[in-house]
Structure 1
Amino acid sequence: MHSFIYFASFLLLVSAIPKEEKIDRVYDRDLSGKEHFDNDIHNTEYDHEAFLGEEAKSFDNLSPEESKRRLGVIVDKIDKNKDGFITREELRDWIRFTAKRYIVEDTNNQWKKHNPDDAPKLPWNAYEKLVYGFMDFSKVVNKDDENYSYMVMMKRDKRRWQMADKDGDDALDKEEFGKFLHPEEDEYMKDVVILETMEDIDTDNDGKVSLKEYIRDLYKGEDNEEEPDWVKSEKEQFSTYRDKDGDGFLDIEEVKSWVIPPDFDHAEAEARHLIYEADYDADEQLTREEILNKYDLFVGSQATDFGDALARHDEF
């Protein structure tokens, strides 16, 4: 029940967010929630998360010897052609894989829930019945009806489904279903993300986002309350950076630049950085020994439950 759960969770999230906190619309493409450099001081925790993805969260304190042993197992996985060297391309592809792993896992989980028989394709009518079948939208007459929001969500799902359904057979295979669940990760699907964002924010339906609409979406405080400093900063961001043509509004292209920033290849940059830091002989590739000698850069003195991790790494 992806859409129902998503919508209910969104309502719960919004109600639980303190009024002074910011609701973020930007799809963050960075590899870690940590800053890579803080006042020119290198933060290796960024590298740990970039190299291990979500596995970095589950690290337990280990001895350097155990960290090196487990890191060595990962190195063997990264070396796809088994030539004893980790090239920039191999390291980049590994970092991309770890960054996208949560999408693969979520798609697998949702596919099993919605398609327990693991049929090659999931038809729209089966998905619709499972997610919305208990609702009677024929009785919805206005926005005050308790099922109105779910009807809107169903229509959005249908539109997103049709966009993900490239062969137009009204059924999605597993890959297409992944695009349906995570449209922000697919270049072909990005337009529907922007369209949904516009529908959420453009409350007067004039096809553009005013400063008032922009702030109202990010900040749920009352009109008579003193605004937090970050709200004032966002107003400056709107005028200085978001509103590129200076007309006082954000059009669709400006919203796209805000919500899905222009591509910067974080994985490529991180691969170059890790090689620069660990490549003792300056041949622009890494040996197993070079990586283990700099284990503190890749995993520190901690490592994860690699038995579970490596089982999933076979998807790489």
Structure 2
Amino acid sequence: MLAPAFSAKNMEAMRPRVRHLLNDLLDDLVKQDQPADFHEAVSFPLPVLVICELLGVPAEDREEFRSWSEATSTLNDEQKSMRGFTNLWAYMGELVAKKKKNPADDVISRLIGQNPDAREQEIAQLGAGLLFAGHETTVSAIDRAVMLLSLNPDQWHALERPGAVAATVEEVLRHRSPVSARSGDSGLPRYAMADIEVEGTVIPAGDLVLLGIEQANRDEDRFPDPAAFTRRVPNPHLSFGHGFRFCVGAPLARVELTETLAALVTRFTTFGLAVDLAALSRRTEQLVGGVVQLPVRWTEA
């Protein structure tokens, strides 16, 4: 149901709008005293504004949506997490009902029009999932890009080379955060639908399987010197999944990340962290981890 709306072609059509939103946010950033919080000024609002526009969510509701989203991703309070997603779902249910009466040029309206037999609650649940998943991971990826480039200034200076931005984005996606909120990757939980034999071992139907995406992305057979942050072509990381189970939002995330890096290297001659990594506060209680703040300094071009 979602794949057509998030096709690479449709997301490319969003690129000028993403660029416009990003430039407005950077204009506001450079008006602030240095150091400024890049997370609050750019990393968080950009994906939120973009996904809200795509889904047809009023931008003025984004602060309320932010609190629900953060509650949903809470790891240490199940009731809080459930309340957060329930609020997101209820909000999207009201929005779906409005879009059904007054459709517009947005993903929710198209889902309603293209799936007339789908229940409103089904579309509302999809919308709530998109609101949550469509920004949390991208926020962390943008922050991670700034941190990794700050630690690897040679990669920052190389961004102006042809093709360097796209290749750097893929390496950001592959590489783990230098301030990972948890000690290790707990794995992506899935359950075997049937008996599966892997390397002579049978995984019985119904068993829990933890897929080590981060470990796969650091496989030395695929990625020489996997701990290094460097442009790799090709870069067959599994951060978006693989094959049929591929993240529907991957084209959008790539557009947002490439536009962000391209804008930074165009507008600034120097740009990076204003503090040591050890001074950053980590979001240890949130599903996607990341940082609370990202203080940066810059020199405008």
Structure 1 and Structure 2 fold alike (TM over 0.5): no
Q: TM-score, normalised by structure 1?
A: 0.25
**TM-score by structure 2 length?**
0.26
User: Which one has a bigger Cα radius of gyration?
Assistant: 1
- Higher percent of residues as strand: 2
